[in-house]
């Protein structure tokens, strides 16, 4: 199964470099035509969210929409897809950033009790616990 890097997904989504967009689109169409699923590593998903938010100034709602659409695309297979869906739901409803929500969802999926964190926003998310000097 071929895998995609962050920069290919970014070009496909934002279409800010027409030559790279065309190349990404051609690759994806070819894989779809050949009935190949494209694998997206979890690290690529984390980097994608960060790039869209920080480099392209997408709002939280816009980022959630883009990720939701990608997660539902049949031609894409995301590593730890169930944890990513849980993370996206947590991100939608909580103050924690997407990366923290992914960390929490992966810890829960692994059967761990909680994710210890110094991040106060992340600690308000189910599955996370604030670490203090008193803990």
Give per-residue pLDDT as tens, 61-90. 999 999 999 999 989 999 999 999 999 999
Going by pLDDT thresholds of 50, 70 and 90, the confidence category of residue 113 is confident
Tell me the pTM.
0.91
Distance CA 10, CA 60 (A): 16
Residue 98, number of CB atoms within 10 A of its CB:
24
Structure tokens belonging to residue 12: 């496909």
Q: Which residues pair with 38 in a beta bridge?
A: 76
Residue 119, number of CB atoms within 10 A of its CB:
17
């Amino acid at each position: 199964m071929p895998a995609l890097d962050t920069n290919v997904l970014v070009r496909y989504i934002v279409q800010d470099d027409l030559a790279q967009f065309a190349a990404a689109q051609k690759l994806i169409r070819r894989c779809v035509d050949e009935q190949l699923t494209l694998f997206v590593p979890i690290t690529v998903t984390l980097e994608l969210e960060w790039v869209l938010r920080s480099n392209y100034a997408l709002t939280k709602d816009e980022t959630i929409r883009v990720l939701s659409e990608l997660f539902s695309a049949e031609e894409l297979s995301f590593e730890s897809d169930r944890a990513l869906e849980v993370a996206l739901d947590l991100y939608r409803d909580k103050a924690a950033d997407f990366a923290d929500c992914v960390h929490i969802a992966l810890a829960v999926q692994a059967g761990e009790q909680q994710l210890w964190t110094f991040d106060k926003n992340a600690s308000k998310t189910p599955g996370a616990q604030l670490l203090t000097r008193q803990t």
